[in-house]
Each structure stands twice: as C-alpha cells, then as structure tokens.
C-alpha cells in the first residue's frame, strides 16, 4: 500500500518518521521498532483478548446444545466428548488469562484457544457428517473469522489457526467418506471465506501499525523541538520534576547547564535566518552528545537558549562538560563577523549543581544556573560560570 504522508518532509529524522516514509507492506518494522510495536499490541489488546474468551465459551456451549438437537444417534455422545474436551481447555486458558502476571502468554494462549476451537469444530463436523451429511459446517468459518478479527491477533498469528482447522476438516471428512464433490464445494467455501478474512486482517494490521507510528511520532513532536530535534521546554519541565524526586531518593546530585549562543541576534541580522537555523542545529548536535546518558537530557529552551540536564554528576564533571561544549563549538569555526566577543560563534554557559533535599524548591536548580549564565555573560561571554551550593 502506498504511503501518502507528505507532511513527513517537515519532520526531522527519527525511527517513526523514517519507517512511515519507507512503508511496511510486508507488515514488518525494523527490529527495534518491531519489538516496540509488539509490546504495544500486547498491552493494547490485553482486555480485548481476555474478553473474547468468555464469549467463545458461551458460543461453544450454545453449539453443544444444537448438536444434541440435530444428531439423535450415538455419535452425538462422541460430539459431546469433543465439545467438553475443548471446553475444559478453554477454561484452563481462561484461568491463566484472568491473571495479569501471564501477559507474556497472552498471544500463545489465544492462538492455542482458537486452534483447539477450530480442530474441535472440524472433528464435530466430521463425526456429524458420518450420519447426517446435511449437518451445517459453516460454523467453521466463524472460528476463522474470530481469529482474524475478534482475537486481536496479527496476520502472521491469525493464519495458524485456520490452517490447522482446514487441515483437520479435510482429514476428518476423508475419514468419514464424504462425497468428493461435496467435500470440494465445502472446501472452496471455507477457502474463499478465509481469503476474505486474510485481506481484512491484513488491512486491520496495516492500519494498526500506521496508527502506532503516527501516534508515537506525534508524541515525539509534542516533546521535541522541530528544528534541533532536542527536547523542548515542556518535556524538560516534566523530566526535571521526575529526576528531582529520583535524585532525592537516590541521594545524588543534579546538574543543569544553561547555554546561550553569544550575540545570536547580531548573527541572524548579519547572515540571515537560514544561517541562524544552521547554527542552532549544530549547537543542538553538540548538546545532544553531551546529554547522551539514559537519564540526561539536552533541551532547546527557546530562541538561542539551550540546557543540558545531568543526573548523578559532580560539579567538576559538570564544569568539564560545559567547557567541552564551549571548546567544541569554537572548534567548528563558524564565522561570526558581527560578534564583539570572538571571530567565530561562541557559547556562554551557566552551571548549577546540587543534591535535592526534602522540601527543597524544584525551581532552585534552574534559578542558580540562570544566575550563573548571567554572570558568564557579564564577564565577557564565551566562558563558563559556576553557581553551586548545598540545597
């Protein structure tokens, strides 16, 4: 299926946008993204699959009663034995699915339930056809449709149960000696019904995968700056609050580097906004490298102001990170003829580092780093200023 997401051209490169751009007609993502999708599907469809099983049990019991009405010979007891065996299996699976600690077994159990239903239904039909060729077999298609549409399975999983059911049906019908013409007619009906189910299941999974990618991409866009791909202020505020509590629990320090590109307005006025955007992107790349640990965060606060939030780090280490950033930007040698500080683009950085204490104000880390940045600017820019006291 062709992709029609022209708006992706305005989105920075990330795993979700890249996958949308190349498509997924074979219903597969890149390995890491595929695992993320499988986890998403398992959690998203947990309640659906748990709810579908009681419905299947009720329908199975209903067909059991129908068997007793349609078949009056001794074969109905064999049919009942098959029905009760399948029912026992469904009840065991239902007991396991009720408990959330077995979520990793959700899909295997669902596939097993539908497969057992299919094989059991095929056995019942085969037994019934031994005495009554007019016994309805169309119920087999209901089992297939449940696997395709009601059980929340992916296409590759949903195909297992119908394949087992059709093979079993063919075997049982051959054993009872159903006429070849009738068997061929029944198989064609079931096969074409399954073909419709396969197409429908493919479309459902395709849309599910597309929804997954777009929803995750929207979340990324909501929390990231579109120009630099760094986190935005909203994401920063949320992460700062979370790390503040975590640092209190672990009794470790947080450091915040607030960075400002020196004379950036003059740069924009002299070189133009397109060149200014390029500078912002290059600074963003440098900050992303500085905040690459799992709990660290690089942020574009707005305009030419950036920040790096660092978890469990000393003042000396935070200062070294800041000085490395300044040196790395100078090393890029981006000409800045309008600067009164240097001939190239430079950075001023304010550094604050503290260990959060119970009752301490969340804002104090930002306020101290901001004051330190003010000191760095007042001292001539293109330098690092520290502001670190016990909280």
CA 348 remoteness from chain centre? 38
Number of helices followed by number of strands (H, E) in the chain: 14, 5
Q: In the chain, what are the helix, strand and coil shares in percent, each to the nearest 5?
A: 65, 10, 25
- How would DSSP label each residue in 283-311? HHHHHHHHT-STT-EEEEEETTEEEEEEE
Burial label for 204, CB within 10 Å (0-12, 13-18, 19+), is middle
> 203-235 pLDDT, tens per residue?
999 999 999 999 998 888 888 888 888 999 999
Q: What is the pLDDT of residue 56?
A: 87
Q: Cite the beta strand spans of 158-295 per DSSP E.
A: 254-261
* 304 assigned to active site: yes
Residue 284 is inside which H or E element, if any? helix 273-290
Find out whether 293 and 311 touch, Cβ atoms under 8 Å. yes
Q: What is the pLDDT of residue 344?
A: 94
Q: What is the pLDDT of residue 100?
A: 67
Q: How far apart are CA 346 and CA 79, in angstroms?
A: 83
- For the chain, list residues with pLDDT below 50: 2, 389-391
Q: What is the pLDDT of residue 374?
A: 94
Q: What is the pLDDT of residue 191?
A: 95
- Of the candidates 107, 104, 89, the residue with the CA atom closest to the CA atom of residue 161: 107
Residue 12 is inside which H or E element, if any? none
Which member of 75, 173, 205, 304 is catalytic?
A: 304
> 229-273 pLDDT, tens per residue?
899 999 999 999 999 999 999 999 999 999 999 999 999 999 999
The conformation of residue 353, written as its DSSP 8-state character, comes to E
Q: What is the pLDDT of residue 293?
A: 85
Q: What is the pLDDT of residue 4?
A: 55
- Of the candidates 127, 107, 129, the residue with the CA atom closest to the CA atom of residue 45: 107
Contacts of 331 by beta carbon, 8 Å cutoff, 6+ apart: none
Domains of the chain: 6-221 (no CATH), 233-387 (3.30.70.270)
Q: Enter the pTM of the model.
A: 0.74
Q: What is the pLDDT of residue 12?
A: 62
């Amino acid at each position: 299926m062709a992709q029609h997401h022209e708006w992706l051209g305005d989105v920075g490169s990330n795993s979700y946008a890249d996958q949308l751009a190349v498509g997924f007609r074979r219903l597969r993502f890149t390995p890491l993204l595929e695992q993320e999708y499988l986890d998403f599907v398992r959690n998203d469809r947990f309640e659906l699959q748990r709810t579908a099983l009681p419905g299947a049990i009720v329908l199975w019991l209903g067909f059991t009663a129908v068997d007793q009405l349609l078949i009056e010979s001794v074969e109905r007891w064999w049919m009942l034995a098959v029905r009760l065996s399948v029912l026992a299996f469904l009840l065991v699976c239902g007991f396991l699915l009720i408990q959330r600690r077995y979520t990793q077994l959700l899909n295997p159990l669902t596939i097993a339930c539908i497969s057992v239903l299919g094989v059991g239904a095929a056995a019942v039909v085969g037994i019934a056809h031994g005495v009554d060729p007019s016994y309805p077999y169309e119920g087999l298609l209901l089992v297939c449709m449940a696997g395709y549409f009601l059980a929340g399975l992916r296409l590759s999983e949903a195909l297992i149960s119908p394949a087992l059911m059709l093979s079993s049906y063919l075997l049982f019908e051959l054993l009872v000696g159903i006429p070849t013409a009738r068997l061929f007619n029944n198989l064609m009906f079931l096969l074409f019904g399954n073909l419709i189910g396969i197409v429908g299941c493919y479309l459902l999974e395709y849309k599910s995968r597309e929804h997954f990618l777009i929803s995750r991409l929207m979340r990324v866009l909501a929390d990231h700056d579109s120009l630099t791909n760094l986190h935005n202020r909203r994401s920063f505020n949320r992460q700062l609050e979370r790390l503040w509590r975590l640092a209190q629990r672990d009794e470790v320090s947080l450091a915040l580097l607030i960075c400002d590109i020196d004379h950036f307005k003059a740069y924009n006025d002299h070189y133009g906004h397109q060149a200014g955007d390029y500078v912002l992107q290059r600074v963003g790349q440098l900050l992303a490298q500085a905040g690459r640990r799992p709990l660290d965060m690089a942020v574009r606060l707005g305009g030419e102001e950036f920040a790096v939030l660092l978890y469990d780090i000393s003042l000396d280490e935070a200062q070294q990170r800041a000085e490395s950033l300044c040196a790395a930007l100078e090393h890029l040698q981006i000409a800045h003829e309008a600067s009164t500080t240097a001939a190239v683009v430079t950075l001023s950085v304010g550094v604050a580092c503290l260990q959060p204490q119970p009752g301490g104000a969340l804002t104090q880390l930002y306020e101290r780093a901001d004051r330190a940045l003010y000191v760095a600017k007042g001292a001539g820019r293109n330098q690092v200023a520290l502001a670190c006291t016990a909280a």
